[in-house]
Structure 1
Amino acid sequence: MTVSRFQSFPLPVLLLLLIAGPSGAATLLVSQSGNDSNGLSWESAFNTIGKALMASETGDRIWIASGTYEETIKVKSDVSISGGFLGDESLDEIGTRDSRGNLTIISGKTVSTPIVTCSNVSGVRLETLTIKRASENSGVGLNVIHSDLEMVACIVEENRSDFAGGMRCQNSSVVIRDSTFTNNSVPDQEFFVGGTPTSGFSFRYELAEGGGINAAVGELSLIDCLFVGNNAGKGAGLFLQEMTVTIEGCTFMENRGGYGAGIGAVDSDLTIKGSRFLSNVAEQRLSSFHSCGFGPCNPSKGYFSALGSALALFEGSVADLSACWIQENDSADQGSLYLEGSSSDLRDCLLILNQSCQGGALFLDPMSTGDLSHCTVYGNVASASGGGVYASDGASLVMVNSIFWEDFPDEIRSGSSEIRYSCIRGGGQGEGN
């Protein structure tokens, strides 16, 4: 005889399940104070998220009471997982709970294993969860491969691995809203080249990618998100490769990296609206090291250049920025915004008080193109030249209806740039200037 998943439950419980969602769907509850029986009430709640996932079916939702859950989970298709419950809510109180005051933390248990894995799944929703690696462990927070995922009001913090910090997305379509990625990191990789105790040892280094998120070959939408205090050699906040990305209302702040402290992008299309890049730092990172051995000498070190403290674009990337605020970013070498073989349009943007060696606000290499319209470039500093903008010879840059003022030591190192109807301190050639 075929047994229904609900056959053994009394009528009141069945009625509760029927109002919980679509036909056949259930709301499964997780609480560390439940009796771990069937997950159909807070009293009978499962004690682990993994057990609730094992019991779940298509269309089910899982509610998790506040607390720290030391486990790693693999998510199923068409299942939603929500945290932030006190543990006494009824089924109609999901929208009124205090999710910020009742944190649900998934901390991971196994070293080097992702805390949350989404592999070949679709219709997944994660809501009001904190994904935070236990301090003694390493491993990416979320690993999303060949999947569709929506993530809302989550916190991803203090995760660390060799291939991504907070989150890895590959061949996936991901939408993230109202979420925070903070203090995630990826260490640069060290490789032994050779040597002896007598001659000294040589090492080389490769820049790691994606402190907050490392995304490749897919689609990503970020709405009202915060990336703060993340660290990686490339794309400390966000690293993109062969991606189509929409970013709206987001803030990238105090991230540290070598190439693209806020965002680093390779062969990607970006649309960025109403977002802020504040106090990000692109720093020189070690590329090689040779010790002395037994002989007297000065150890030799090589360094990667520091490029694009706010945003660095490489290899045919295209970025459209509108109504963005780019302020007080610091690059040791070139550009708060750095373009290498790439193109960018900036409209209605504010670029102020940034600093670098060349191109305090914006740097274009000879193979890049740019268009600035209705932008304000103010108070930026370059220790060499191009306090506001540095356009290399061969670069194509058009600047229209914009203000360039109080940049040091000069406003624009223009190359073959075209400037029209703009207000430039000290004056400038071109129509309407």
Structure 2
Amino acid sequence: MRVSTIVTPNPAGLLTLLTPYSSSPCSCPNRSVRTPLGRSAPTVAEILELAAKKLLNSNDFEPSDTNQALAVLSQRFGLDICFGYPDAVSYVEKGVASHLRICFSTTQDRSWTFTGYPSEPLLSCVAAIILHSGTSSVTRLGSTLWALNEKVNEGMVKIGQRGELVSRLVLLLAKDMYVRGHLSEGTIRVVHHFGSRDAELIDCQKVSVVDFLQYLFGEMFWLLAGEEAKTAFQHAYINFSHWVSMTELISPGPGPGDSKQPTLEIAEEWTLRHWVRTSAVLCCDLQPLVDKMIPIYFDDPTLGSDDLKRVSQIFISDKAGKNPIARELGANTRKHDTIRCSSTLPYITIRLDFNVEPQLNVTFPERDPNDAETDRSLRINASGLKETTFPFLCESDITIFLRRLISREEEAPTQMNLDALVKFGSTAKLQNLQWETQD
């Protein structure tokens, strides 16, 4: 993706960044920069610098400034704010006023507002550049994660019940580090870019799935997966620059009064549009089997010109829990009624569990002729948040901060158990019934 946004100054002086959909995601289409009559087109550097300044509300990034740190992280990692925290309202209000956070709606009495960061690839790339730039970029990243840790410990930022926040950080930071360790010629990698306007944004460029999985899980990964699996994904690419959240199932089925069943092409259209947008997906809490999706695009001319026939997915499940049978990798079929993907291209399922001993299991099973599945999946079970499972962590000082989030996750059940018991009898689950288990 190139810096091809439409830049329109609005009355408030903010930068409106719009990235329209393209029917050719592989080629990363050129888009023009429109400016008011009589004004010269802004340079790439001016666009990026303005975006950075508006996001930070400052010319410089200071990781110890909580509002700046959370703005940079929220735009890409989908931080979930807990409104039971005393300072949550003031943080959100300041984010809207000074850090490009968007107010989606408000109640009539204005006592509640619903806010967040919308999907915007250019702003995501700017946030990534801010996070990783400078000679002390590792220290800058660590300091930013430290600020996040403090707010998690204070209860303002939710971590999720199955390690959802940590897995978002691990997967996207791994891609950040990969592209910066394997720089492509002519990409935009700094805010003060004075090169070609047609250069690609470093965090929106396509990355080989084969190379990324080897970087994420180590040099031995494809020896474990097998040559057949490696060949199956030799033309596959990812390009996600940020996470976006869903509020309903991937394939929710017909709505009230709608007699039509959803078509199987919905999942392909959904995947393709996220590929073009360079976004990965956080599934809603009610989504069975999977918690996240990263789009895959097969840049293989033998597949024809229809982009809908070129997309596939990486589905991620966070933490098997006490009843792993329900979340077995083999059960993560994309033909499930709540996903309904008709693609015959190979796909990937990853199950992450950071709270156990490190272990990496990889399989690429043959298709069962008696199974409804017509495609094959590379199944990855990655356990433990250590360098033995994720070797890329050796390249930075972020492991300690991620482990602190995991330790916080282990402490959280005490509060969650109390919350569940306050709602005694609301379900037949033991967590809503067993008062005697409290210390």
Regarding TM over 0.5, the answer is no
Q: Which has the higher strand share?
A: 1
Q: Which has the higher helix share?
A: 2
Question: TM-score, structure 1 length as denominator?
Answer: 0.25
Q: Larger RCO: Structure 1 or Structure 2 (Cα < 8 Å, ≥ 6 residues apart)?
A: 2
**Structure with greater Cα Rg:** 1
